[in-house]
């Protein structure tokens, strides 16, 4: 399941991040790529040793966690390995799949990947995030502050930037529910029970769906 989230980052948060992303602090993005991804990765990223990185990383994690759709769809156990990337004209990231485990000593599983767009779409051309799916490619170029969440097992790429500069925050999620089909069932159930609650309050139907939602989460969670 691929889903987009609008306004993950507020206007003031986007400005805060932008003010602290100094281009001179960025390093070659190949330093964190896997041995095969190095062949197609041509971008820059903010090193974790940067003075700005810890606070900016926490800001991104907190912004995602407060979004109700994110929690319902991703069932996050931990958000990890956040990277702030920068693409100048001519830079791209060719077709690749994300590593199954990340996080250094913590060794977190990457069930889901996310990209939060930090640059307004009219400030650059090219730079689309493209998912390579069985029914064809899907291209994403969202508003600044919006996010796209997708299975980390998906082949994807970032097209060449042809004008301007593209900033993004990317990262990974280890979910409480490893199976993507189970996550989708839980998401649908949660959507229905929230709709019932909004119309009828705490009804018998709401209680029954909530019971089965909780029990399935116990069954499938890890």
Binding residues for Fe cation: 96, 98, 156
- Specify binding-site residues: 96, 98, 156, 166
Structure tokens at 40: 């197609």
Q: Could you give the maximum distance between any two Cα atoms of the chain, in Å?
A: 59
Torsions phi, psi of 177, nearest 5? -120, 105
- Specify binding-site residues for 2-oxoglutarate: 166
Contacts 24+ apart (CB under 8 A), 60-63: 60/9, 60/116, 60/169, 60/171, 61/171, 63/8, 63/9, 63/10, 63/13, 63/116
Nearest to 114 by CA among 67, 148, 72: 148
Task: Give 80's strand partners.
Answer: 172
């Amino acid at each position: 399941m691929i889903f987009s989230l609008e306004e993950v980052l507020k206007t003031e948060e986007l400005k805060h991040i932008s003010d602290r992303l100094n281009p001179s602090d960025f390093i070659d993005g190949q330093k964190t790529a896997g041995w095969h991804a190095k062949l197609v990765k041509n971008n820059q990223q903010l090193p974790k040793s940067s003075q700005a990185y810890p606070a900016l990383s926490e800001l991104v994690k907190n912004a995602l966690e407060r979004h109700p759709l994110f929690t319902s769809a991703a069932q996050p156990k931990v958000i990890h390995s956040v990277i702030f990337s920068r693409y100048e004209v001519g830079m791209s990231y060719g077709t690749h799949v994300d590593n199954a485990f990340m996080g250094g000593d913590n060794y977190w599983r990457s069930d889901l990947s996310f990209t939060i767009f930090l640059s307004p779409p009219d400030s650059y051309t090219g730079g689309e995030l493209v998912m390579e799916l069985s029914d064809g490619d899907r291209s994403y170029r969202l508003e600044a502050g919006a996010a796209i969440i997708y299975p980390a097992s998906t082949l994807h790429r970032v097209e060449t930037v042809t004008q301007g500069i593209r900033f993004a925050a990317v990262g990974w999620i280890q979910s409480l529910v490893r199976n993507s089909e189970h996550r989708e069932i839980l998401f649908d159930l949660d959507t229905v029970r929230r709709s019932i609650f909004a119309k009828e309050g705490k009804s018998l139907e709401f209680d029954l769906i909530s019971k089965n939602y909780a029990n399935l989460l116990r069954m499938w969670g890890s």
